[in-house]
Amino acid sequence: MADTPQSGPAPDVPTRLTTADGKPLKAALAKAQAAARRRAFLLVLPLLAFILITFVVPIGQMLHRSVHNEGFAVHQDIGSGVRTPIMTNLRDWFAANPQGTEPDEVAYEALVKDLVVLRDLKAPGQAGTRINYERSGSRSMFTKAARRAKKIEPPYKEAMLELDEDWADPELWQVMRGAVSPYTSNFYLAAVDRERDAAGDIQRVNENRRVYVTLFVRTLVLSILITAMTFILGYPIAHLLATLPLRYSNLLMILVLLPFWTSLLVRTTSWMVLLQSQGVVNDLLVSIGLLSDDNRLQMMYNRWGTIIAMTHILLPFMVLPLYSVMRPINPSYVRAARSLGATSWTAFRRVYFPQTVPGIGAGALLVFILAVGYYITPALVGGADGQLISNLIAFHMQKSLNWSLAAALAALLLAGILALYWIYDRLIGIDNLKLG
C-alpha cells in the first residue's frame, strides 16, 4: 500500500488544488484510493492475524512470565478454576516490616496461619516450588511444615525451628519476601547468575552455581565461530554458483539445497555416525595409520561436534543470500578494475568484495540468529561442553518446570539479538541487507 507521494500545494499558493467539481484534491485522492487500500488490507489480514496469534502474543506472554510468577501469591484450583490468595498473612507482615527485619513471633504466626491455608488448599507443593526456584531445598520444608501446620502451637518460632532449623535462615525469608508479590525481577537476576542476599542487595551466586553467564558467553562465541565458518566455506561456493554456466550452477545449487530437503535429525545423526570415536572418520584415520587405535579423536559429544554439525546445517543460510547478491554483479566490474590496472586480488578486494557486503551481512545475521537459538543439534551432539543457552531454556521448560526462569533466559537472548541487530544497523545499515 504505497502512500502516493502527493506533495501538497506550495505554501505561497493561496488556493488549494481542487478537482473539477470543486472538492479538495487531497480528499478526492484519499477517497479514490480507500477502496484499493481496504482490499489490500483484507488480503494481508489472515497473515496479520496469524503473526499476531503465533508470534506477538506468545512473545508477550513469555516476557510477562519472566517477571511474573504467582506461585507464592495465588492458588488456582485446577478443577474449578477458583483463584484464592495465599500467604496473605506473611505478605501483610512483610508490608509492615522493612527489609532486613529479623522475623519475630508475629512473623512465624503469620507463616503458620498461611501454612494452614496451604494445607487446606493442597497447595504447599506449589508455594514450596516457587521458593525452591531461588533457594534449593525449600520445597520439602514447606510440604513437611504444612502437613503438621494444624498441630503447631505457640510459641510458633520455636515450634517451627524444631521442625527444621532452616526456617530461621535469613535467605529464606528474603526469598519469601520477594515471592509474596507476583511481580519480581529475581528471575532475571538468576538468569545472569545473581541473587539477593539477606539484606536485599544483589550479589553473585556461589561459584558452583554460576552457569548461565558462562553459557551465554559460550553461545555467543560458538555462534560467532559458526558464522565465521559458514562465511569462509560459503563465500567461494556462492561465487562459484554465481559465475558457473547455468547448467552446472543448477546442479551445484541442488547440492547446496539438498540439506534443506533432509530431516534435521537425519543430518545430525549422520554426523554422529561420521564423527564419533568409533565412527567413519576415526576408523578411516586409524586404518590409514594417521592415528593409533587408542588415540582416536574426540570430535563428537563436545563443542567440536556442535560446531561441525551446526556449520554444516546452517551453511545454506549463508550461501543463498551471498549467491543472490553475487549473481547480478556484472563481470565487467572486475574487468574494468583489471583494465584500470588492478591485480586480480585488488580487483576482488576493492571492487567485487564491497559489492557482496549486503549479502555477507544478511547471511551472517541469519546464521548468527539461527545459531544463537539452536537447540536440537547441540542437544544431540554437544555432550556436556557443547550445550548452548537454548538447551538450558529447554531444560527449565521441560524438566525443572521453572518457566519464569526459562522465560527470563529467553528474554535476555532476545534482547541480546536485538542489541546485535541494532549494532549491525549502526555499523552497516539495515538498508544494506539483501536477503534475496
Interface with other proteins, residue 15, by CB under 8 A: no
Non-local (6+) Cβ contacts of 212 within 8 A are: 190, 191, 192, 193, 389, 392, 409
Apex CA 212: angle with CA 362 and CA 310, to 5°? 40
Confirm or reject binding of residue 346 to other proteins (CB under 8 A).
yes
Residue whose entry in the numeric block shows the C-alpha cell 543472490: 324
Shortest distance, CB of residue 251 to other proteins, whole angstroms? 20
Answer yes or no whether residue 300 interacts with other proteins by CB under 8 A: no
Q: Rule CB under 8 A: is residue 243 a binding residue for other proteins?
A: no
Question: Which residues, other chains included, contact 325 with Cβ-Cβ below 8 Å and sequence gap of 6+?
Answer: 355, 356, 358, 359, 362, 434
Site string for other proteins, 352-371 (x = CB under 8 A): --xx----------------
By beta-carbon proximity to other proteins, the closer residue of 337 and 366 is: 337
335 touches other proteins by CB under 8 A: yes
CB of residue 355 to other proteins, shortest distance in Å: 6
In the complex with other proteins, the residue whose CB is nearer, 33 or 355, is 355
- Region from 152-160, 187-195, 328-336, 389-397 binding other proteins, contact rule CB under 8 A: 328-336
Determine the interface stretch with other proteins among 57-65, 223-231, 335-343, 366-374 (rule: CB under 8 A). 335-343
Phi-psi region of 383 (alpha: psi -120 to 50; beta: other; left: phi over 0): left
343 makes contact with other proteins (CB under 8 A): yes
The DSSP result for 355-400, as a single string, is: HHHHHHHHHHHHHHHHHHT--HHHHHH-TTTT--HHHHHHHHHHTS
Distance CA 112, CA 174 (A): 17
| Residue in 374, 371, 386 with CA at minimum distance from that of residue 275 | 386
Number of residues that bind other proteins (CB under 8 A): 19
What is the DSSP pairing of strand 194-196 with strand 83-85?
unpaired
Q: Tell whether residue 342 is a contact of other proteins (CB under 8 A).
A: yes
Considering the rule CB under 8 A, would residue 333 count as an interface residue with other proteins? yes
| Distance of closest approach, residue 378 Cβ to other proteins, in angstroms | 38
Q: Which is nearer to other proteins, 287 or 339 (CB)?
A: 339
22 φψ region: left (φ > 0), alpha (ψ -120 to 50), beta (else): left
Nearer to other proteins, 140 or 355 (CB): 355
Residue from the set 340, 401, 415, 418 that interacts with other proteins by CB under 8 A: 340
Q: How far apart are CA 402 and CA 388, in angstroms?
A: 18
Q: Is 332 in the site for other proteins (CB under 8 A)?
A: yes
In angstroms, what CA-CA distances link 303 with 50, 380, 387? Answer: 37, 11, 7
Contact residues: other proteins, CB under 8 A: 330, 332-333, 335-344, 346-347, 350-351, 354-355
